[in-house]
Amino acid sequence: MAAVEQAKNYIDGKWSWPEGAQAIRSLNPADTREVVCEAPDSPASEVARAVEAAYRAFPAWRRTPPPARAALLRRAGEILAERKEQIGRLIAREAGKPIAEGRGDVQEAIDMAELAAGEGRRLYGDTTPSELPNKMCLTLREPVGVCGLITPWNFPVAIPAWKAFHALICGNPIVLKPASDTPLCGAWFVQALVDAGIPPGVVNLVQGRGSVIGEALCNHPRVALVSITGSTETGRAVAAACGRNGKRVSLECGGKNAQIVMDDADLDLAVEGALWGAFGTSGQRCTATSRLILHEAIHDEVLRRLVARASRLRLGPGTDERTEMGPLINESQCRKVLGYIRIGREEDKATLLCGGQRAEDESLRYGWFVKPTIFADVTRPMRIFQEEIFGPVLAVIKVASLEEAVESLNDSQYGLSSSIYTRNVNQAMWAMREIEAGIVYINGPTIGAEVHLPFGGVKGTGNGHREAGRIGLDIFSEWKTVYIDYSGRLQRAQIDTESLVATTAGRKE
């Protein structure tokens, strides 16, 4: 048998396997007989090594001119572009995403490199007049320090890029902890940064279990910030640990996103949006469409079309160009999704229209495949309407008005993404204002973020920060306010303003 590839740690410019560490096997979720790679089950001491390396590298990196940092990130983006097909196919094997989605994952990282590199020529602060004469006021962005980045398996290259590139352009060194389901994707992402010339210690990678590596990052005194994308439960635990230790924390957590379809909507477009929103990435996105809110006038027709399309989706391994929906990521996630389907069957009134079970094809028997599942006749109190499932399960509810539709959408502990299909600009504008979500799509599905715009949600989805775009720099930078007094005398803010006004008024007289 050929040797299994290893996804090692990268600390202080060197790839290594911790002495005595056991191996965590990364399996192909479409065929669990295939071991994609082995990664070390690293102890907390590896985090300490990585953080110390990052801390030592911090002074030189923060003093590197931002345009010079930008040149390295731009080169990293070029390398990712050169390796796009290779990495996209790895994502299809290790994360199970259809190859087209794997390529899109890499493209998102390429786009983020371009965006972050552009900020190296900006990183704007502000200048403002002083209330006192012969005095200048300005603000500067400065890095926060060592940043711990905890990233998930569903976007194993894009999300590390979202966090890492913004952290790096601001002058911060990083310690990346990728998901244990996709360690090789994390390693290949870091290799692109290494090959681009990022100095040793500035980028570090520690593989292992979240309960060990994540906890160590939250508790290490030299980690200034932890940024995590994960479940709301995990995010709250991280926030509590960071709060106890006085660290900055950025949370991008769960979602229970809804698409509204009004009676005047383009139904073909709405069905396409719901299909992609609910079953793209097998529903394993924080922005996935988990709830579909249909106006009663078009309810039956939309369901008829949607069920017909969903039932024909081609399931298969992500490496097959013909595949339209891949597997779930692992056995635990498969059990969770099937458990929610069982709950949906047992809840009052809900009607299972399609799916509801694992795929029966012989060719799929070794993978974690669950058929696209649609429940109709759902009501708002039901668990399948309220709780995040993170799988190919869509709950459909019928409403009589726009007001009821938006009220139903807002009836959630989450508030990440949302969507409304309507040709009526007045309805669209009203809904845009009233919907409680960080992202609102008009005549588009709930998924498909663009990197130059802020990304994040409200309520249980996060803690108020936004990733991506220019505003994503705010997580990874501190504001420094500078006062330059060239008056040659002691001037006292607030106290001296009255005498200044009197003097100015006297001159006018």
Q: Residue 286 catalytic? A: yes
Question: Is 364 in contact with 31 (CB distance < 8 Å)?
Answer: no
Position 220 scores a pLDDT of 98
Question: Is 323 in contact with 281 (CB distance < 8 Å)?
Answer: no
User: What is the DSSP pairing of strand 31-40 with strand 23-28?
Assistant: antiparallel
pLDDT tens digits for 151-172?
A: 999 999 999 999 999 999 999 9
User: Is residue 467 one of the residues assigned to a domain?
Assistant: yes
Q: Examine the domain organization and report whether 203 and 314 are in the same domain.
A: no
CA distances in angstroms from 215 to 143, 199, 274, listed in the order given: 23, 26, 38
pLDDT tens digits for 70-109?
A: 999 999 999 999 999 999 999 999 999 999 999 999 999 9
Position 2 scores a pLDDT of 57
Domain closes at, from 398, 431, 450: 450
User: Is residue 186 one of the residues assigned to a domain?
Assistant: yes
User: Is residue 5 one of the residues assigned to a domain?
Assistant: no
Q: Examine the domain organization and report whether 171 and 210 are in the same domain.
A: yes
Q: Which of 37, 147, 253, 286 is catalytic?
A: 286
Of the pLDDT bands very low, low, confident and very high (cuts 50, 70, 90), residue 347 is: confident
Position 508 scores a pLDDT of 46
Q: How far apart are CA 204 and CA 287, in angstroms?
A: 29
Domain range enclosing 221: 46-253+461-479
pLDDT higher than threshold 50 for residue 19: yes
Query: Residue 494: what residue type?
Result: Q
Q: Higher model confidence: residue 504 or residue 252?
A: 252
User: Is residue 9 one of the residues assigned to a domain?
Assistant: no
Position 323 scores a pLDDT of 97
Q: Examine the domain organization and report whether 226 and 269 are in the same domain.
A: no
Query: Residue 406: what residue type?
Result: V
The count of structural domains within the chain is 2
Q: How far apart are CA 119 and CA 139, in angstroms?
A: 16
Alpha helices in 138-266 (DSSP H): 158-169, 183-196, 210-219, 232-244
Q: Which of 108, 252, 347, 388 is catalytic?
A: 252
The mean pLDDT of 264-292, rounded to a whole number, is 98
Of the pLDDT bands very low, low, confident and very high (cuts 50, 70, 90), residue 349 is: confident
Position 501 scores a pLDDT of 62
Q: Examine the domain organization and report whether 272 and 373 are in the same domain.
A: yes
Q: Examine the domain organization and report whether 183 and 315 are in the same domain.
A: no
User: Is residue 317 one of the residues assigned to a domain?
Assistant: yes
Position 412 scores a pLDDT of 97
The highest-confidence range among 121-125, 348-352, 501-505, by mean pLDDT, is 121-125
pLDDT tens digits for 129-140?
A: 999 999 999 999
Q: Higher model confidence: residue 248 or residue 500?
A: 248
Q: Examine the domain organization and report whether 138 and 192 are in the same domain.
A: yes
Q: Residue 252 catalytic? A: yes
Q: Examine the domain organization and report whether 446 and 465 are in the same domain.
A: no
Of the pLDDT bands very low, low, confident and very high (cuts 50, 70, 90), residue 509 is: very low
Position 241 scores a pLDDT of 96
CA distances in angstroms from 25 to 39, 93, 184, 403, listed in the order given: 6, 13, 10, 50
CATH number at residue 233: 3.40.605.10
Question: Is 251 in contact with 149 (CB distance < 8 Å)?
Answer: no
Q: What is the percentage of the chain residues whose pLDDT exceeds 70?
A: 97
Q: Examine the domain organization and report whether 150 and 70 are in the same domain.
A: yes
CATH number at residue 398: 3.40.309.10
The mean pLDDT of 5-28, rounded to a whole number, is 97
pLDDT higher than threshold 90 for residue 4: no
Q: Examine the domain organization and report whether 383 and 470 are in the same domain.
A: no
Q: Examine the domain organization and report whether 245 and 348 are in the same domain.
A: no
What's the whole-number average pLDDT of the chain?
A: 96
Q: Examine the domain organization and report whether 321 and 428 are in the same domain.
A: yes
pLDDT higher than threshold 50 for residue 289: yes
